[in-house]
Amino acid sequence: MLNIALPKGRLGDKVYNLLASVGYDCKSIYDDNRKLVFENEELGVRYLLVKPSDVAIYVEHNAADIGIVGKDILLEYEPDVYELLDLKLGKCRMAVAAKSDYVEDQNRTLRVATKFVNIAKEHYAGMNRDIDIIKLNGSVELAPILGLADVIIDLVESGNTIRENNLKVVDEFKQISARLIANKSSYVFKKEEISQMVDSLRIVV
Ligand code: PRP
């Protein structure tokens, strides 16, 4: 049985449809219930629905053999897993954004609100810029509006959240998309099943 950690939500739905299209369907996943584990015994796949930011944790600790995770999470947490394939889904950019009337002042410490502390540190590391990082867990766009931060570092997909909150993108510095990852020992012991799936997916992406 191949255990697949699928991110709950928008990205997970897209990824499940992709996997189903190449033969790894599990119809019961559409049942309207609170179950988190779905199995297709015949095909030998078991889907585990997990929070997107937890996918890499399940895979790294061998609770799942493979998983689908945003490149943002891989860059931020650097889990000890194999990155097998860019699924070209959930494409977005990691960006710096600020209030639309924001003017940069190099002489002041820059207050940066973000969910991605390590990415933010790395981004400013080479710029010789003093920063204070304010770690948030969501709705990051509120921070500049309320004066909690000067800028944010966050994902921008359609740009709607930025626009609707009167912010502007100051800099886009990383392209992000969903990646198929594997646990290192599963990649050895379940190599045949994993390779078969990767080969099928490679054709459609
Ligand atoms: C993400 C991201 C942005 C938004 C970008 O937030 O952090 O806020 O989506 O998408 P857009 O450019 O298409 O508007 P998410 O919906 O995951 O919620 P969160 O604020 O709770 O992190």
Residues with C-beta less than 6 Å from any ligand 1 atom: 138-141, 154-161
In this structure, the number of other CB atoms found within 10 A of the CB of residue 84 comes to 18
Q: Which residues contact 119 (CB under 8 A, 6 or more apart)?
A: 72, 75, 76, 94, 153, 174
| Rounded distance from Cα 130 to ligand 1 centre (Å) | 26
Mutate to test the pocket of ligand 1, among 156, 162, 163, 176 (most ligand atoms within 8 A of CB): 156
Would you say the C-alpha torsion 35, 61, 53, 113 has a positive or negative sign?
A: positive
| Rounded distance from Cα 197 to ligand 1 centre (Å) | 30
Can you say whether residue 82 is alpha, beta or left, with left for phi > 0 and alpha for psi between -120 and 50 degrees? beta
Please report which helix (H) or strand (E) contains residue 181, including its range. Answer: strand 178-182
Of all atoms in ligand 1, which is nearest to the CA of residue 156?
12
* Residue 37: HSE in the Cβ half-sphere, 13 Å Cα cutoff: 7
pLDDT given at position 57: 98
Instruction: Extract the tokens encoding 185.
Output: 């020992």
pTM over 0.85: yes
pLDDT given at position 28: 87
Residue with tokens 């609707």: 164
DSSP code of 118? H
Mean pLDDT (10-residue bins), the chain, 205 residues: 94 93 90 90 95 97 98 98 97 98 93 98 90 97 98 97 97 97 98 97 95
| Rounded distance from Cα 12 to ligand 1 centre (Å) | 15
| Dist. CA 92–CA 161, nearest whole Å | 13
Q: Looking at 126-171, list the stretches that DSSP marks H as alpha helix, in order from N- to C-terminal side.
A: 142-145, 160-164
Whether the Cβ atoms of residue 82 and residue 187 lie closer than 8 Å to each other: yes
| Rounded distance from Cα 156 to ligand 1 centre (Å) | 7
